[in-house]
Amino acid sequence: MLKFDFNKKSPAMELLLLLCLCLLTRSGVTSAQLNRPTVISVEGGADVMLPCSPSTKEDIEYKLFVWRKVAQKDDGLKEVFDYNAGSHYNNGLDGQSEAFKGRVSHFPEELEHGNASIIIRNTKISDSGEYTCDFPQLKPPQTFYIELVVDPLKDRSAIRGAAQEPYITTLKATKDWELLQCKVNGNPEPEVKWQDSAGNQLPAEEPQVEKRGFFYITLNVTKSDRYRCVATQTTIHRNISAETDVHIYAHSSGPQTYPSDQNLRKVMIGVAVGVLAEFLFS
């Protein structure tokens, strides 16, 4: 029987270690796969970032990476987020599991630095579990593991005065633009913002008071996208959002214009009159 002194490197020992490394590499197993999953805890209802980057930190803007939620006893495997050379679930790519539609985004400006992390918004207890981040086209392929724990005891939605899911409506629409309104309730007063599908904050009017504890904010949009209204109550660590899809039917090759100041003024006056009437007769 061969005996090895692990405190002393012999030619036979070095050969054995090299052979093991070659076998692991050829089978597609990497050091990232041998590590235990990174555990991330989050309060129910909050947003969470799941980190992932290839060990090479290379530009992945034109590469493929896939996020999945590992099958559990009472649930099957779920497609969380796919990115393939610019195509992904938020811009037309099909296949995303219903449980994650409209709730997952990535960091497009960070792809060139190898950042494949994602954000899951408004986490639920059912989001708890193990996730994989795969780079199947890298050589060798790499897989990373994240375990997400959503704490139901810290769900901020149960706190008195916590903002509930915002309510989005379309006040007026033409083939060139839409005027969106987002209504939010909450005490303390939430900070309300509009974002596009990439997470960029959009210029909008300051939130207006509809009646005590209720607020609204409007946004004029001129291109098709998924728009998100985000309400944040910093003092109670509450963050909740709602989304809507907007389809602008004007030809993309032509100029997309905002409504004239006169038309927009008419719309805003009509909105103000409606709000005032609702306040007076409620």
Query: Nearest CA to 104 among 229, 199, 184, 39?
Result: 199
Same domain flag for 160 and 149:
no
What is the DSSP pairing of strand 178-185 with strand 214-221? antiparallel
Same domain flag for 161 and 142:
no
Q: Is residue 136 part of a domain?
A: yes
Asked whether 114 and 58 are in contact (CB, 8 A), the reply is yes
Q: Is residue 112 part of a domain?
A: yes
Size (the chain), residues: 282
Give the residue from 154, 189, 210 where a domain finishes. Answer: 154
In whole angstroms, how far apart are CA 123 and each of 46, 193, 225, 240? 6, 19, 23, 10
Q: How many angstroms separate the most distant Cα atoms in the chain?
A: 93
Residue 268's pLDDT is what? 55
Q: Which two tokens stand for residue 103?
A: 């709730």
Beta bridge partners of 231: 192, 240
Same domain flag for 107 and 128:
yes
Asked whether 218 and 205 are in contact (CB, 8 A), the reply is yes
Same domain flag for 150 and 34:
yes
Same domain flag for 175 and 143:
no
Give the residue from 97, 131, 154 where a domain finishes. Answer: 154
Give the residue from 123, 154, 185 where a domain finishes. Answer: 154
Asked whether 227 and 195 are in contact (CB, 8 A), the reply is yes
**Structural domain count, the chain:** 2
CATH number at residue 76: 2.60.40.10
Query: Nearest CA to 204 among 213, 192, 215, 190?
Result: 192
pLDDT in tens, the chain (282 residues): 445 454 555 555 555 555 544 444 444 444 444 456 889 988 887 889 999 999 888 999 999 999 999 988 777 899 999 999 989 998 878 899 999 998 899 999 899 999 999 999 888 888 999 999 999 999 899 999 999 998 865 556 667 778 888 889 999 988 889 999 999 988 888 888 898 887 788 888 778 887 777 888 898 989 888 898 988 887 777 777 878 888 887 644 443 444 444 444 554 555 554 545 555 555
What is the DSSP pairing of strand 38-43 with strand 142-151? parallel
Q: Is residue 23 part of a domain?
A: no
d(CA 282, CA 203): 31
DSSP string, 160-196: TT-----EEEEEEE-SS-EEEEEEEE-SSPPEEEEE-
Same domain flag for 137 and 220:
no
- Domain extent, residue 248, equals 156-276
Q: Which two tokens stand for residue 223?
A: 């291109």
- Tokens 């490394």 found at: 21
Question: Tens digit of pLDDT for each residue in 119-136?
Answer: 998 888 889 999 999 999
Q: Which two tokens stand for residue 55?
A: 């060990």
The predicted model scores a pTM of 0.50
